[in-house]
Amino acid sequence: MNEAARHYDTIINPIITEKSTIVSEHNQVVFEVPAAANKTEIKYAVEALFKVKVTAVNTLRLKGKRKRFRGVSGRRKDIKKAIVTLRDGDTIDVATGL
């Protein structure tokens, strides 16, 4: 697999929520990443895809909630989030996509 394809597999999609827009004021962006991705892989992928400089990567795992839908019990999927801090002056516009 070539290098660019691996970067696209590392960053699944941006997470756009109320909290992620609040942290964007502090030069941070939130992405959903695979559970097996580590901080170094995430850093290289963001720098290569968006042409920015990453200063820090924080990760967290969210366990899926149990929910009911039309009387049927189910469970949301587990996801891993990466909060990426960018160098001052660098920005990523997650609304436009890649």
Q: Give the number of domains in the chain.
A: 1
CATH code, domain carrying 33: 3.30.70.330
- Identify whether 92 is part of a domain: no
What letter would DSSP give residue 46? Answer: H
Say which residues have a Cβ less than 8 Å from residue 27's Cβ, sequence separation at least 6: 85, 86, 87, 88, 90, 91
Neighbours of 74 (CB within 10 A): 11
The three-state secondary structure class of 35 is coil
Give the distance between the most distant pair of CA atoms in the chain: 49
Q: Which two tokens stand for residue 79?
A: 């996801």
- Identify whether 98 is part of a domain: no
Q: pLDDT tens-digit profile of 48-58? A: 999 999 999 99
- Identify whether 44 is part of a domain: yes
Contact 15, 62 (CB under 8 A): no
- Identify whether 34 is part of a domain: yes
pTM across the whole model: 0.86
Q: pLDDT tens-digit profile of 15-44? A: 999 999 999 999 999 999 999 999 999 999
Domain housing 19 = 3-65+75-86
- Identify whether 94 is part of a domain: no
